[in-house]
Amino acid sequence: MKKHVSKFLALAVVAVLVFLGIRMSLHKSKTQMYPGLGVESLHTSGIDGTGVSVAIIDQKLLVSHHEYAANLVYYEEQLPLDDEPNSMHGPAVSSILVGKNCGVAPGADLYYWAVPVCGVEPSGVRYASAINDVIRFNASLPKERRIRILSISTGFSTEDGGVEFADAVQKAWDSGIIVFTSSFPYFTDPVIAVYGAALKERGSRDRVDDYIVPPAIVEHRGQSADAIVRMRHQLGDDQTSYKPVWVPIEPRLLASSRGTKKYERFSTGGDSWATPYVAGVATLILQVNPGLSNKQVVQIIADNTIENMGGLKMISPQQAVTKAMRETQ
């Protein structure tokens, strides 16, 4: 009898440990999906981008991934992309902008234009063509559903179609669309310089002081983190003053292109991950005050940063939303 009881207890202990392990694993996964910096409290209060239309131009998307499929209201491929695989890039940036677990603005409607990776024309020209398509399409939408924000996680040199790309971005701004790209500096007014920050080991995603210059950047540049921060914050000239804005980019668990319920861990991020984060904060701002001008939205983002112990001027979604609520149009 005692042997049976002991065996039962042993099995029960194993079952409990497995259950706790699964729960801890799920909790860790959810934590790595979370964008951080207090956005969860905003979502809980109903500020999640609902009612705002946003767009992404990127590579071929796995449209049915459950992280963002419910948000995707329109998808267009610039050319037939049957011969191209689903990109890892598209699901990741879509996750950060509108993902239900990963997103800064999980209530927003997403419009997506997929651009081929390769083509006869330079990449910047292909993206410029997609921007022009967004502008034309947007003009056909009812005013209340029009795209207010466009996120493009790339940038181009002059040799790669950068002039055409910049011209198209300006046309989008002129049409009323706020455009965030990975170009440096951003094509914004005021001009903001967005940098990616890493969460330090065992840090809290909601604690501003737990973000640091990504170790890979420090290693690559061969400079101290303090030196990198000083250099980046001093950028500018007599004509242009850049507003530095640091956002969380790594590590992150984001939607994967390998399956509709699969996720992928990115130990390093970059400008590609920073761009949709900033676009997500702009989306929250427009939800609480849709009458703001493009310039007002960017100004609010630029002005509402918190300098942490490492000198990084971290974006503050909560402060930005509070400021937007009080801003007159």
**Residue 294, CA atoms < 13 Å, CB-side half-sphere:** 19
What's the rounded mean pLDDT across residues 270-295?
Answer: 96
What's the rounded mean pLDDT across residues 207-226?
Answer: 94
Q: DSSP E strands: which ranges in the chain?
A: 53-58, 72-77, 109-114, 147-152, 178-181, 192-199, 211-212, 243-250, 252-255, 263-266, 305-307, 313-315
Give the pLDDT confidence score for residue 16 in this predicted structure: 41
For 232, the token pair is 């980046």
Closest listed residue to residue 198, CA positions, set 38, 320, 32: 32
Give the pLDDT confidence score for residue 107 in this predicted structure: 98
Judge whether residue 151 has pLDDT over 90: yes
Judge whether residue 17 has pLDDT over 50: no
Give the pLDDT confidence score for residue 4 in this predicted structure: 54
Read off the pTM. Answer: 0.90
What's the rounded mean pLDDT across residues 259-288?
Answer: 94
Give the pLDDT confidence score for residue 10 in this predicted structure: 52
Contacts from 40-47 at CB under 8 Å and sequence distance 24+? Answer: 40/206, 41/318, 42/284, 42/317, 42/318, 42/321, 43/106, 43/107, 47/284, 47/287, 47/288, 47/321
3-class DSSP state of 191:
coil
Give the pLDDT confidence score for residue 186 in this predicted structure: 83
Judge whether residue 233 has pLDDT over 90: no
User: How far apart (Å, rounded) are the C-alpha atoms in residues 243 and 68?
Assistant: 31
Range of weakest confidence among 21-30, 146-155, 249-258:
21-30
Give the pLDDT confidence score for residue 6 in this predicted structure: 58
For the chain, give the mean pLDDT: 90
- Band of the pLDDT at 329, cuts 50, 70, 90? low
Q: Give the pLDDT confidence of 4-16 residue by residue, as tens digits.
A: 555 555 554 444 4
What's the rounded mean pLDDT across residues 72-88?
Answer: 91
What's the rounded mean pLDDT across residues 124-153?
Answer: 97
Q: Give the pLDDT confidence of 304-318 residue by residue, as tens digits.
A: 999 999 999 999 999
Judge whether residue 62 has pLDDT over 70: yes
Give the pLDDT confidence score for residue 308 in this predicted structure: 96
User: How far apart (Å, rounded) are the C-alpha atoms in residues 55 and 276?
Assistant: 10
Give the pLDDT confidence score for residue 61 in this predicted structure: 96
Pairing mode, strands 211-212 and 192-199? antiparallel
Judge whether residue 248 has pLDDT over 70: yes
User: How far apart (Å, rounded) are the C-alpha atoms in residues 171 and 167?
Assistant: 6
Give the pLDDT confidence score for residue 82 in this predicted structure: 87
Could you give the percent of the chain with pLDDT greater than 70?
89
Would you say the C-alpha torsion 187, 155, 125, 130 has a positive or negative sign? negative
Could you give the percent of the chain with pLDDT greater than 90?
78
Give the pLDDT confidence score for residue 203 in this predicted structure: 95
Judge whether residue 22 has pLDDT over 50: no
Cross-strand partners of 254:
264
Judge whether residue 70 has pLDDT over 60: yes
Q: What is the CATH number of domain 36-326?
A: 3.40.50.200
User: Angle CA(206)–CA(102)–CA(92) in degrees, nearest 5?
Assistant: 125
Q: Where are the domains of the chain?
A: 36-326
Give the pLDDT confidence score for residue 1 in this predicted structure: 52
What's the rounded mean pLDDT across residues 263-281?
Answer: 93
